[in-house]
Amino acid sequence: MTRRPGINYWFDDMEEPTAVFISVDGHEPQELAWETIDITFGERAYFRCSCDHRASKLYLPPGGSKFLCRSCHALRYSLSSLNKNSVAGRAIYRMNRLQKLSDSRAD
């Protein structure tokens, strides 16, 4: 069984937050810029990564200590590295799609 980190978070101002602070396993908190953008039907909240990229999700990979965007952590989707034109790539792609379909139907 793998241990999941304890994560605590809080906003600088609950009325109009501009930053969220995240502490992983009681370590020094990381400050993340928080902004809301007006869209057609209301507002949408985004994080600002340290690279100044606006992201709706930030990631903490296993063994990581900071929440960052996908590009900062060099994260890729597993299927994006496949050559779908090869026989093996097509087979792996199809098996992945079938597994995702099976998992969604099981839920």
- Residue 2 in tokens: 């793998």
pLDDT for position 1: 58
pTM value is 0.64
94 membership: H or E segment, kind and range: helix 87-106
Match 């296993």 to its residue by tokens: 62
Per-residue pLDDT band at 77 (split at 50, 70, 90): confident
